[in-house]
Structure 1
Amino acid sequence: MRMRIRPARKTDDFQAIAQLYLTTWRATYAGLFDQTFLDGLTTAVWHPDQQWRRMFLAETDAGELVGVCTYGPSRTPELADWGEVYAIYILPAYQHRGLGPRLLTAALDQLKRRYRTAYLWVLRDNVSAVHFYLEQGFVLTQTVRDDHDCIEQVYCTQLI
């Protein structure tokens, strides 16, 4: 089955994108976040309709949404001159098929138009994500935050 990466459009099904976030969060963060917290999440937590201009989608030839990546200006004051990859999520059944690097590359190609460096936050204990970003050329920085018993670390890459 072929997959394509494309920019999001104003006419996309944002409820389906929010559902993708919910599904992937529950799968990705099981064991990393309290299960009661994950079970209590709803699609109302996400607002992809507000980010569509800085979003790439992965979909099957049949148009099934299977992945999302959002990016834009830094949301971290001490990294104000850098671009940020806000999120990259792929449905579990479609992981390890090369979509992650393709989504990430699409976002980084957009960020390099304006920034020299890009970064993203990764949960320290999300071993598969850490390995993925290291494989994609990101490096660990010294920037860390401890939020609700979860330690997040910044990984960055040069865009030149």
Structure 2
Amino acid sequence: MIFRDALSGDFTSIAALHTRSWREHYSGIFDEDYFGKAIEKDRLNVWKERFSKGNSLRKVILVEENNELVAFACTFLDHDPQNGALLDNLHVRSDFHGRGLGLQLMQQSFDWVKSQRPEQSLYLSVLSENKASKQFYLNLGGKVIDTHFEKSQAGNEVEVDVLLWEDRPQRIA
């Protein structure tokens, strides 16, 4: 496995993995019509936009095996005055689950945040109905600090839990 920082040319493979992950994990949560062609275009536009301009407050870490993207994480510094840095995306291909990649990506993201902004915490939002992901984050020491409803990218209302790490993520369960 190779961990590396993403380059601007990586946006298409990131968008493809992001799409695949959402189709696998958000089916039944997001409006099903979104999972046709809309999701592919939407995720591609998001990642193309993110890489179209430099952003020193963003870090995207990729994990590759045999030159194929199998996982990634995207973190934004200074995202929230109270909560700190946002881990906006963490996706691991389902056939690579259970290998510790999610934990390693979270730790690397946390370490980067602390190297840039020692006073900041790391937080993320997870769909409340995405029970497996929520449990994964709880098992890594995340503390639920808020639960609220918001409009999803698919257009429907979803319940979201916000989890926070003040200390480096580690397996606690």
TM-score (norm 2): 0.79
Contact 1:66-1:91 at 8 Å conserved across structures: yes
AA at the equivalent of 1:24: S
Asked if 1:55 corresponds to 2:63, the answer is no
Report the identity percentage: 25
Equivalences, count: 154
* Aligned pairs (5 A) from 1:127-138: 127-138=131-142
CA shift for structure 1 position 116? 3.1
Deviation per residue, 1:102-127 (Å, 9 max, x gap):
11111111111204311101111110
Partner of 2:39: 41
Q: Is the 8 A contact 2:83 2:164 kept in 1?
A: no
Alignment of 1:55-94 (within 5 A): 55-60=60-65, 62-76=66-80, 79-80=81-82, 82-94=84-96
Runs of 4+ in 1 over 4 A off after TM superposition: 50-53
Q: What SS does the corresponding residue of 2:67 show, helix, strand or coil?
A: coil
- Cα offset for 1:150? 0.3
Q: Deviations over 1:30-66 (max 9, x none)?
A: 1211211122311434215257851000111x11111
Q: 1:98, CA displacement in angstroms? A: 1.2
Contact 1:72 1:83 in 2 (8 A): yes
Q: Deviations over 1:54-107 (max 9, x none)?
A: 1000111x111111100012545xx45511101101112112221111111111
Please name the residue that 1:96 is paired with.
98
Within the alignment, does 1:24 sit opposite 2:24 as a pair?
Answer: no
Gaps of 5+ in 2: 169-173
Offset of residue 134 of structure 1: 0.6
Whether 1:15 and 2:23 are equivalent positions in the alignment is no
Structure 1 residue ranges without an equivalent (≥5): none
Note the aligned Cα RMSD (angstroms). Answer: 2.1
Is residue 112–residue 159 contact of structure 1 (8 Å, CA) maintained in 2? Answer: no
1:156 is aligned, of 145, 152, 164, to 164
